[in-house]
Structure 1
Amino acid sequence: MAKELTRDTYLSKHVGDFPAEVTIGGRTYVKVDDLRYGTNPHQAACYYKPVGEICAIGDMEILKNGKSGLSQTNLEDISYALNIVKFFDRTACAVMKHVNPSGAAVGLPGESMKSVYLKARDADARAAFGSVIAFNAEVDADTAREIMGTFVECVVAPSYAPGVLEIFNDGETYKLNRHIRIIRCGAISSLPRFVGEAREIHNTIKVLGDGSLVMAQPLLTSLHGVEDLVPAEAENKRCGHQKSTVEATEQQKLDLLAAWYINLSVRSNGVVIVKDGQTLSVGTGEQDRVGAIEQAIAKFNQKYSGSGTLQNSVMSSDGFFPFEDGVETAAKAGVTAIIAPSGSLRDADVIKRANELGVALYHAPERIFSHH
């Protein structure tokens, strides 16, 4: 049986396979480091940063390494996790597994970082095993001790309070996590958030099966704040003019905004259910809209074993509802406010049904499919 290669033995065979510099679109990128492996151990990999640019990931500093270095999957999870927490002024935490958030949370007024982390982790505690965790604020000692209580691959944050690195290095007390990787990221403020903020270096590049490239502008949003939430409104011959008449509460509006921002880093079709700043469930990667909602509800019911409730939660959908069944499925589970883009021929039908069900429906300014 083949033995999995360690970083040292793997890199001894593969260092030099990748050039020190590459040029794409007229811009030069310099190699930062060889990686432990790519997506799988038999795939060699390294990563680059654009020359002369401030980078949240390219400039990160590894404060504590595990028994081996970072993999491509670690970097991708770090990237998507930072792409969630970058949106929030309040303390935020994202727990990533396989390039999807298993949980995320945003602090309520006066809430501790430890509490925010626990909400993000325990949104799906089973999936959080072996995760990558990102914060948008300095990690304190109480949070570090809680992190060390369960198995974690990496922690990334802009800074760490005095004494926190000693906790992360205490492999005798926390044997399960003795190989945890601790990373100080570069400036999170360098990450674009809203449409119009991106520069050429933020364009995404995808390599197709034959080596061809697709270059695209990054996935950003025009939704800056709760003041941009617009009640859904549409018209068709079947229903006439319809407008959402149900008003979300102020906390629900904040939750709708959080659900939308988190959904930008969820593989489509994706839905995110949030309550009081915490993801209750994430439905991702489904081929149909209702399936994503059903998956999220089923995950919540299965992993919480019937405890807790989705009542008065909110939901974001990365694409429009082609029929009324998506709203009906969410409402039956307890969701009372939804944000989704418009674009369906049956938008008016969906709005009418949402009003009948007592669901506040808001139209987002764009679709946010993420085919990562």
Structure 2
Amino acid sequence: MAKELTRDTYLSKNVGDFPAELTLCGRRYVKVDDLRYGTNPHQAASYYKPADTVSVIGDMEILKNGKSGLSQTNLEDISYALNIVKFFDTPACAVMKHVNPSGAAVGRPGESLLSVYLKARDADARAAFGSSIAFNREVDAETAREIMSTFVECVVAPGFAPGVLDIFNDGETYKLNRHIRIIRCGDLSRLPRFVGEAKPEHNTIKVLGDGALVIAQPLMTSLRSVADLVPAEAENKRCGHQVSAVAATEEQKRDLLFAWYVNLSVRSNGVVIVKDGQTLSVGTGEQDRVGAIEQAIAKFRQKYTGEGTLQNSVMSSDGFFPFEDGVETAAAAGVTAIIAPSGSLRDADVIKRANELGVALYHAPERIFSHH
């Protein structure tokens, strides 16, 4: 008889028969813990870390646990959120929900962590309910109090200021978040970021339906700074040689790079629309690229709670534009600068149309599908 799913099912561990150690692809792993559950409450799960290695995530310190610990979904959201904030030297925050960012933000000079968090959360405040939040900085008291004002599953950061844990443990004042999980991660600089930076310490492993494995290098990018942004250029018989003739502002270039880094952790097909260091909307997991753009625009109009508009915003696309309609749809909504990889037979047509629409178009050196 199937086990009845009740609230207790969600709050108690569904322990399976997982070994204390295992060897995979010639590497030894040790069990860190049995999880509350896997992707769903009826799925048992455990998580492991590479043996004899200091791991940014595998060695995370649980400073405050929920009623029954972490689930696989919590860990995956934590991982993808850290994969966003790892790129930035200034304060950054990613709010993760179902392995996609509902919002992310990066600070400008002098901007407080609280301001960065509010921009990340309020990009899609509705989706942020029950999210996992990652920071690349020590969390201060002001930010902690704001976090506790809405329902949050997990907060992960490299550190927490003195007194902050008292705020997170104050279940009487913040009853909604009595079971919030507070986690200190390791050194984010150990996570792989840039192609050619160093040999990654690990590969990614995807298990297929029959237990077969796909082993791949982790997703990294060649774009290290705005100096690496290259105006789009292509040629075909229909349009001849075309070069993007519209230049983005320096602020827009910074936003393009930010959008690209966020896009690395968005399920493909994915697009990210950004302005002033804040995601205005994220289009995720669509089967077609125009659909991802349309989804992002619709999300902004339905759910964004800030005062901004899409006018003069920028957009990242994780894959090339097969036709001109993607650029046309974005431009009609107010996007004036775009970054995307090349690779379409109609790249020259897309560049020509972007020039006609007054849109700055930059070609990235790689595709960044995240096909999770």
User: Shorter-chain TM-score: what band?
Assistant: over 0.9
Shift of 1:307: 5.9
Shift of 1:6: 4.5
Task: Tell me the SS of whatever aligns to 1:49.
Answer: strand
Which residue pairs with 1:64 in the alignment?
Answer: 64
Which residue pairs with 1:32 in the alignment?
Answer: 32
Distance 2:13 2:336 in 1: 52
Task: Tell me the SS of whatever aligns to 2:30.
Answer: strand
Instruction: Indicate conservation of the 8 Å contact 1:54/1:187, yes or no.
Output: no
Task: Tell me the SS of whatever aligns to 2:194.
Answer: coil
Shift of 1:308: 3.4
Shift of 1:283: 0.2
Shift of 1:202: 2.1
Task: Tell me the SS of whatever aligns to 1:202.
Answer: coil
Task: Tell me the SS of whatever aligns to 2:142.
Answer: helix
Q: Does 1:146 align with 2:146?
A: yes
User: How do residues 1-40 of structure 1 correspond to structure 2 at under 5 angstroms?
Assistant: 2-6=5-9, 10-11=13-14, 14=15, 17-40=17-40
Distance 1:306 1:344 in 2: 36
Shift of 1:7: 7.2
Shift of 1:196: 2.6
User: How do residues 325-364 of structure 1 correspond to structure 2 at under 5 angstroms?
Assistant: 325-364=325-364
Please give the per-residue CA displacement for 1:227-283, whole angstroms capped at 9, x wherever unaligned: 000000000011100000111011100000000000000000000000000000000
* CA RMSD in angstroms, aligned pairs only: 1.4
Which residue pairs with 1:96 in the alignment?
Answer: 96
Which residue pairs with 1:114 in the alignment?
Answer: 114
Which residue pairs with 1:244 in the alignment?
Answer: 244
Q: Does 1:203 align with 2:203?
A: yes
Distance 1:4 1:298 in 2: 34
Amino acid at match of 2:6: K
Compared with structure 1, are the counterparts of its residues 49 and 255 closer, same or farther at alpha carbon in structure 2 (3 Å cutoff)?
Answer: same
**What fraction of aligned residue pairs are identical, expressed as a percent?**
84
Amino acid at match of 1:294: E
Q: Structure 2 length normalisation: TM-score?
A: 0.97
Shift of 1:344: 0.4
Compared with structure 1, are the counterparts of its residues 163 and 299 closer, same or farther at alpha carbon in structure 2 (3 Å cutoff)?
Answer: same
- Structure 2: 5+ residue stretches without partners: none
Which residue pairs with 1:260 in the alignment?
Answer: 260
Which residue pairs with 1:317 in the alignment?
Answer: 317
Instruction: Indicate conservation of the 8 Å contact 2:123/2:305, yes or no.
Output: no
Instruction: Indicate conservation of the 8 Å contact 2:154/2:183, yes or no.
Output: yes
Instruction: Indicate conservation of the 8 Å contact 2:280/2:304, yes or no.
Output: no
Instruction: Indicate conservation of the 8 Å contact 1:244/1:361, yes or no.
Output: yes
Instruction: Indicate conservation of the 8 Å contact 1:242/1:352, yes or no.
Output: yes
Task: Tell me the SS of whatever aligns to 1:344.
Answer: coil
Instruction: Indicate conservation of the 8 Å contact 1:50/1:201, yes or no.
Output: no
Instruction: Indicate conservation of the 8 Å contact 1:7/1:69, yes or no.
Output: no
Task: Tell me the SS of whatever aligns to 2:311.
Answer: coil
Q: Does 1:84 align with 2:84?
A: yes
User: How do residues 270-289 of structure 1 correspond to structure 2 at under 5 angstroms?
Assistant: 270-289=270-289
Which residue pairs with 2:180 in the alignment?
Answer: 180
